[in-house]
């Protein structure tokens, strides 16, 4: 399957739109980021795995957060939390473990994040900016990488 390893702060939650949600404890997603993420999913059939530290609150919290922001499909998991390891290492572990189940095996992926602690996975990073998040340019790049 195709997977988007998705950060939240600086990607879905941005400096240009700091509003607290009334439905969960945290900030709302920026509408343009939501629109762009949906377009990536529609055009590539990719699924979402969350890499953000918000995942420490648990998968049901993430699910609630995504649904409250209008993303009702595509969220399938989160990367493991490894002490003293980079985000790239956590993503690599998720990919390695996905090989155990053919129906969940990651075949193609992109990482969308405003930081760059991806180690050997740097070539798969689409880097966003805290203020603008998942903008048009990042969306197009992610689609291209997932369809290549």
List of residues contacting Mg ion (CB under 5 A):
7, 9-10, 114
CB of 29 to Mg ion, least distance (A): 13
CB of 36 to Mg ion, least distance (A): 16
CA 12 from chain centre, in angstroms, equals 8
CB of 114 to Mg ion, least distance (A): 4
Judge contact between 90 and 60, C-beta under 8 A. no
Tokens 């377009």, located at residue: 39
Nearer to Mg ion, 125 or 145 (CB): 125
Tokens 């399938």, located at residue: 76
CB of 40 to Mg ion, least distance (A): 17
CA 97 from chain centre, in angstroms, equals 18
Look up residue 50 and give its DSSP letter: E
CA 63 from chain centre, in angstroms, equals 13
Nearer to Mg ion, 9 or 135 (CB): 9
Nearer to Mg ion, 90 or 114 (CB): 114
CB of 52 to Mg ion, least distance (A): 6
Q: Exposed, middle or buried: residue 30 (CB in 10 Å: 0-12, 13-18, 19+)?
A: buried
Nearer to Mg ion, 122 or 147 (CB): 122
Q: Two tokens at 25?
A: 């404890």
Nearer to Mg ion, 87 or 95 (CB): 87
Look up residue 139 and give its DSSP letter: H
Q: Which residue lies nearest Mg ion, judged by its C-beta? A: 10
């Amino acid at each position: 399957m195709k997977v988007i390893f998705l950060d939240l702060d600086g990607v879905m939650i941005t400096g240009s739109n700091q509003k607290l949600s009334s439905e969960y404890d945290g900030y709302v997603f920026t509408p343009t980021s939501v629109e762009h993420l949906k377009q990536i999913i529609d055009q590539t059939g990719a699924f979402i795995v969350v890499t953000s530290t918000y995942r420490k609150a648990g998968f049901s919290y993430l699910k609630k957060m995504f649904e409250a922001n209008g993303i009702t499909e595509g969220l399938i998991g989160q990367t493991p939390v490894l002490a003293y390891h980079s985000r790239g290492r956590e993503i690599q572990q998720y990919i390695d473990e996905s090989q155990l189940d053919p129906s969940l095996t990651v075949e193609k992926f992109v990482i969308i994040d405003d930081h760059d602690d991806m180690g050997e996975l740097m070539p798969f990073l689409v880097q966003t900016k805290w203020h603008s998040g998942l903008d048009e340019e990042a969306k197009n790049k992610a689609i291209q990488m997932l369809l290549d």
